[in-house]
Structure 1
Amino acid sequence: MEIKEFTIYSERNLLNCKKYLSNEKDKKYKTILMCHGFAGTQDLFFPKYAERFANAGYDVVTFDYNGFGKSSGETEIVPANQINDILNLILFVKKDEDLTDNKIILWGTSLGGLYVLKIASLKKEIAGIYAQITFANGLRNNTVGLDCDAFEKYVNQIENIKYKEINENKKLLLPLKRLLSDEQSKKFLDEYKELFPILLNTKLSLATIKHINELKIDNDLKDIKIPVLLGKAKEDAVNSPNEMNFIFDNLTSEKKLLEFNCGHYEIYVGEYFEEAIKEQIEWFDKI
Structure 2
Amino acid sequence: MDISTHKLSNGIVLTLRSPTGGTKNPLIILCHGFCGIRDILLPDFAEAFTHTGYSTITFDYRGFGDSDGERGRLVPTQQIDDIHSVVNWAKEQSTLDAQRIGLWGTSFGGCHVFGAAVNDPAIKCIVSQLAFADGEDIVTGKMSATEKEAFISTLNKMVDKQKRTGKEMFVGINRVLSDAESTLFFEENRALHPKMDIKIPFLTVRETLLYKPALNAAQVTCPTLIVIAGQDKVNPPAQGRALFDAVRSQQKRLYEESDARHYDIYTGEHFKRVIAVQTEWFRKHL
Task: Say if 2:216 is the partner of 1:220.
Answer: yes
Other structure's SS at 2:56 match: strand
Count of matched residue pairs: 282
Q: Mean alpha-carbon deviation: is it higher for 58-67 or for 215-224?
A: 215-224
- Tell me how large the CA RMSD over aligned residues is: 1.6
Match of 1:152 among 143, 149, 154: 149
Match of 2:169 among 172, 175, 180: 172
Match of residue 35 from structure 2: 39
CA–CA separation in structure 2 for the residues paired with 1:225 and 1:267: 26
- Give 1:214 deviation, angstroms: 1.4
Match of residue 9 from structure 2: 9
Match of residue 270 from structure 1: 268
- Give 1:177 deviation, angstroms: 2.1
Cα distance change of structure 1 residues 92 and 274 upon mapping to structure 2, 3 Å threshold: same
Other structure's SS at 1:220 match: helix
CA–CA separation in structure 2 for the residues paired with 1:244 and 1:100: 30
Other structure's SS at 1:235 match: coil
CA–CA separation in structure 1 for the residues paired with 2:49 and 2:218: 29
State the TM-score, normalized to the length of structure 2: 0.93
Task: Say if 2:248 is the partner of 1:252.
Answer: yes
Partner letter of residue 203 of structure 1? Answer: K
Match of residue 240 from structure 1: 236
Match of 2:66 among 67, 70, 74: 70
Contact between 2:30 and 2:103, CA under 8 Å: does it hold in 1? yes
- Give 1:24 deviation, angstroms: 4.1
- Give 1:100 deviation, angstroms: 3.8
- Give 1:101 deviation, angstroms: 4.7
State the Cα deviation string for residues 162-211 of structure 1 (Å, max 9, x = none): 22212222110001122221100111112223311232x21001011111
Q: Which runs of 4+ in 1 moved over 6 A?
A: none
Cα distance change of structure 1 residues 207 and 30 upon mapping to structure 2, 3 Å threshold: same
Cα distance change of structure 1 residues 248 and 205 upon mapping to structure 2, 3 Å threshold: same
Match of residue 52 from structure 2: 56
Partner letter of residue 277 of structure 1? Answer: I
CA–CA separation in structure 1 for the residues paired with 2:98 and 2:109: 25
Match of 1:206 among 202, 206, 229: 202
State the TM-score, normalized to the length of structure 1: 0.93
Contact between 1:28 and 1:57, CA under 8 Å: does it hold in 2? no
CA–CA separation in structure 2 for the residues paired with 1:205 and 1:222: 30
CA–CA separation in structure 2 for the residues paired with 1:49 and 1:106: 13
CA–CA separation in structure 1 for the residues paired with 2:39 and 2:214: 31
Match of residue 127 from structure 1: 124
Structure 2: any 5+ residue segments left out of the alignment? none
CA–CA separation in structure 1 for the residues paired with 2:176 and 2:184: 14
- Give 1:238 deviation, angstroms: 1.6
CA–CA separation in structure 1 for the residues paired with 2:67 and 2:214: 31
CA–CA separation in structure 2 for the residues paired with 1:57 and 1:230: 22
- Give 1:263 deviation, angstroms: 1.5
- Give 1:109 deviation, angstroms: 0.8
Q: Mean alpha-carbon deviation: is it higher for 33-42 or for 139-148?
A: 139-148
Match of residue 86 from structure 1: 83
- Give 1:88 deviation, angstroms: 1.0
Contact between 1:5 and 1:19, CA under 8 Å: does it hold in 2? yes
Match of 1:23 among 6, 20, 30: 20
Structure 1: any 5+ residue segments left out of the alignment? none
Partner letter of residue 37 of structure 2? Answer: T
Percent identity between the two aligned chains? 33
